[in-house]
Structure 1
Amino acid sequence: MIYEKIIKPILFRLPIERAHRLTLIALRLIGMVPGGRWLLRKSHAVESPALEREVFGIRFRNPVGLAAGFDVDGDVCNELSALGFGFVEIGTLTPRPQGGNPRPRVFRLQRDRATVNRLGFPNRGLERAQGKLREGHEGTVVGCNIGCNAAIPPEKVPADYLKLFRNLYQYVDYFTVNINCDNGTRECQAPTTGRLLEILEPLFDFRRGQNHYRPILLKISPDLTDEEVDRMTDLMIDTPLDGIVAVSGTHHRDGLTTSRQALAQVGGGRLGGAPLKQRAVEVVRRIHERSHGTYPIIGVGGLMTPEDVREMLQAGASLVQLYTGFVYEGPRLVRDICRSLAAPVPAAEKSGEGAE
C-alpha cells in the first residue's frame, strides 16, 4: 500500500532513469542501516519450502528473480534479495566502463504497462563490479549478464566475453551470455552458429579447468523466427550450454494502445512489459518442447501478475525473472507471486491434471 499510495506516484512523476537512481540510492541506504535488510525481509520476503528449487545445480529459495538491467553494477544484490527475490542477475556488464546511448533513452508507455529502452548497456565496467562482488553477497544467488563494449572490432568480441567470465568466475553463481543489442539488426538478434561458438567455446574451455562449476546460459531475442529459436535450442543441446534465458525486449510495436504520435516521440529501442508476455511464453514453450524438458529455461518478458508467472512456469520455465512488472507494481508483486506459488493447489486443479 505504501508503494502504491506514496512511492509510486512520486517515482512516476520523475524521468524513469532518475526514478531508478533514487530507488538504488534508497536501497543502498537501507542496507547501511543496522537491521535494514532484516526489516525488508520481514516485511516483504515469503519463505516456504514449497518455493525452493534446484536448477543447474544451484539451490534457489524461490523461482522469482530480478532480470539484468536493474542492478547493473551489483550495488544492491543483498537488498533486492531481502525484498524477496530468489536470485538477482546483474549487468549487462562490459569489460570497460561505458556511458551508453544519449539521453533520453528509457520511456514508460503507461497505457500499455510497458517500457522502451535503448540504453546501450551503460555500466561502470568490470573492475567496479568486481570490487562490489568481492564484498560478498550473503547467500544471495547472483547471476552475471555479460556483453561486449561498443564499437570494438568483431574479432575482439570473444575476448571481451572471456575477460568478464574469467575475472568474475569466483564471485557469481552463473553467467548469461547476452548477444542482443539495441539496433535491432538481424545480425544482433540471430548471429550465426559460428559467431556464437567463437564467443562460447573459450568460456567452455576456461570452465573445464576450474574447481567450481558455473552454469552458462544464452539470452535470446523474442524477435527470432521460430526456426531461429529452434537453431538456438539445438545449439544448447549440442554444446555445454546449461540453459537459455528467454527473452530480451522486442523491437516490434504490434498491438500497442499507445498513440502513434507518442511512439514516434519515443523512437526506437527494445520494448518490455505486458505486450511481450505472449511471445515470451511461446518461445519458452517451443524451447521446452524441442529440448524435451531436459534443459533449464529462465522465462522473462511481460510477467506482470502471479497468473502470468504461473503461465510461464507451465510453459516450461524452471525459473522466472521480473523487470517491467517490478517497475510498475513494486516489491508487492514479488510477494504476491511467491504467496501464490506457495499456496496449496486446489483439489479441483489436482484432479484435472493430466486429464487430457
Structure 2
Amino acid sequence: MNLIEKIGLTALHRVDPERAHRLALMSMKAGLVPLPGVHSTPALATHLAGLDLPNPVGLAAGYDKNAEVVDALTQAGFGWVEVGAITPRPQPGNPKPRMFRLPEDRAVINRFGFNNDGMEAARDRLKKRNRQRPVPVGLNLGANKDSGDRARDYVTVLEGCADVVDFVTVNVSSPNTEKLRDLQGAAALTALLKGVMAARDGQEKLLPIFLKIAPDLNDDEIAEIAGVARETGIDGIIATNTTLDREGLKSASRNEKGGLSGVPLFEKSTRVLAKLSRELDGALPLVGVGGIASPEDAYAKIKAGATAVQLYSALAYQGLSLTTDIAKGLETLLSHDGHAHVSDAVATDRDRWL
C-alpha cells in the first residue's frame, strides 16, 4: 500500500462505510485514484469457462453495483470484473445503516438487499464501456424483492444485458433478500438454471453462466448442487457468497444482521470450495471467493480447487493495490512450488480442506 492509498483509506474509515464506499467510487470516476494497470504474464494467463483472463484475480460483485466505474476497474489490476447484482427494476434495498466494518476481525457485514438502479441503467452504462481492454466484464443477476416470479427475473436481466457483458452469474445465495436462498434447493435451482440456460442459448453470443452459492451448506447440499450443475450444463460455480455465521468475532458490530465477508469467512468458504471440487472432479471450473487478503490466501483457494479467485472486502482495509500484490505474489508462490502455470496448482492441496 502506497502513502496516498494509506491516507485515503484512513480518511474513508472516519465516515460511515456505505458513504465511504460511495466516495471511493466517486473518486475513481473522477480519475483521482491511481490505477496500476493489469499485471499479466504467461504463468498467470487463465482460461475460465471460455473467458481469457490476463490473470486469475477478479473483483467480486457488490463493489460496483451499478456498473458506474467499469473502465477504471478494468485498469485497476483485476484480471476480470463482475458488477451488480442487478435486478429488472430499480429498488432501494434495505433501510440504512446496512453496512458495518468489523476492524478487529478484518471483516464487513452488509444487509444491502440488492439495492441497485435497475437493468436499464446498468445496460446503458455497460454499453458505453471500453471493449478493447482484455479484462472480461460480467454481470451478477438478481431478483426484485417483491417479484412474483424470481426465476423469471434472472432471465429478464440476462436477456436485457446479454449483449453488453462477457459472462453472467446467477446469484441465489445472498442472505439479505428473504427466501432467496430457497432457490438453492435441487428442484427450484434446476428449474431456474434451465430457464437461464435456455435464455442464454437464444442470444447471439454464448455467454458463460456461473452460479454463486452460499457457504452455509452441508455436505449433502453441496453434493446436490454439484449434481444440478452437471445436469443443467452451467459453465462454472462461484464459491462462496457471504455467511450468516458469527463464530469467533470480536468487533462491536459482530451481531448486526446480514452477510459476513472478509477474513473470518476464509476457512468456511474454502472448505465448501474443496468439497465442491471433490464432487465435480474437474467437470467444470470453480471460482474461490471469501476472505482473500493476501497472495497466500489466493493460492490456497487455487490449491483447494479454484481456477480463478475473486475479492472485495479486503480492499476496504488494504486498498486497490492489493490486487496487483496478489497477482505478483501468486507468480512467486507458483515458481517456488515448481509450477510453470497457475493451472498446474489447481486442486493440488484439496484434501487438506476435506
TM over 0.5: yes
- For the residue of structure 1 that corresponds to 2:139, the secondary structure is strand
Distance 1:4 1:168 in 2: 34
Q: Deviations over 1:193-234 (max 9, x none)?
A: 221223222222222233321011111100111211111111
* 1:4 to partner: Cα distance: 4.9
Whether the aligned pair in 1 keeps the contact of 2:127 and 2:164 (CA below 8 Å) is yes
Instruction: State the partner residue of 2:268.
Output: 279
Structure 2 CA distance, aligned partners of 1:257 and 1:186? Answer: 29
Deviations 1:294-334 (A, max 9, x none): 31111100001111000000001011000111111111211
Q: Offset at 1:5?
A: 3.2
CA offsets, 1:168-191, max 9 Å, x none? 111111111011243587772563
Name the structure with the higher helix share: 1
- Structure 2 equivalent of residue 293 of structure 1: 282
Do the aligned partners of 1:81 and 1:88 also contact (CA within 8 Å) in 2? Answer: yes
Give the equivalent residue in structure 1 for 2:254.
263
1:272·1:302 contact (CA, 8 Å) conserved in 2?
yes
Aligned with 1:170: secondary structure? helix
- Per-residue Cα deviation, 1:4-52 (whole angstroms, up to 9, x for no partner): 5311110111111111111111111118xxxx9xx62xx3532322211
- Equivalent residues of 1:72, 1:90 under 8 A apart: yes
Structure 1: state its 5+ residue gaps: none
What is the CA–CA distance in structure 2 between the aligned matches of 1:169 and 1:307, rounded to whole Å? 35
Q: 1:308: which partner in 2?
A: 297
Distance (whole Å) between structure 1 residues aligned to residue 164 and residue 334 of structure 2: 37
Rg (Cα) greater in structure: 1
2:49 is matched with which residue: 56, 59, 65? 56
Q: 1:44, 1:332 within 8 Å by CA — same for their partners in 2?
A: no
CA deviations on 1:71-105 (whole Å, 9 max, x unpaired) are: 01111111112110111101110000000000000
Distance apart, 1:3 and its partner CA:
4.5
Residue 94 of structure 2 contacts residue 111 of structure 2 at CA under 8 Å; is this kept in 1?
yes
Unmatched 5+ residue regions in structure 2?
A: 340-344
Which residue does the alignment assign to 2:14? 13
**Counterpart residue number, 1:340:** 329
Preserved contact between residue 17 and residue 101 of structure 2 (Cα < 8 Å) = yes
Number of positions where the alignment pairs a residue of Structure 1 with one of Structure 2: 340
2:140 corresponds in structure 1 to 145
Give SS of 1:286's match. helix
Q: Deviations over 1:259-293 (max 9, x none)?
A: 5xx434xx210000000000111111111111112
Equivalent residue, structure 1, for 2:240: 247
> 2: CA distance between counterparts of 1:271 and 1:184?
14
Q: Do the aligned residues in 2 keep the contact of 1:92 with 1:123 (CA within 8 Å)?
A: yes
Are 2:172 and 1:179 aligned?
A: yes
TM-score, normalised by the number of residues in structure 2: 0.90
RMSD of the TM alignment (CA)? 2.2
Give the TM-score taking structure 1 as reference length.
0.90
The 10-residue stretch of structure 1 (203-212 or 69-78) with the greater mean CA deviation from structure 2 = 203-212
Cα distance between partner residues in 1 of 2:55 and 2:203? 28
The within-5 A match list for 1:18-167 is 18-30=19-31, 40=35, 43=36, 45-138=38-131, 139=133, 140-153=135-148, 156-167=149-160
- Contact in 1 for aligned 2:174/2:241 (Cα 8 Å): no
Q: Structure 1: how far apart are the matches of 2:226 and 2:20?
A: 37
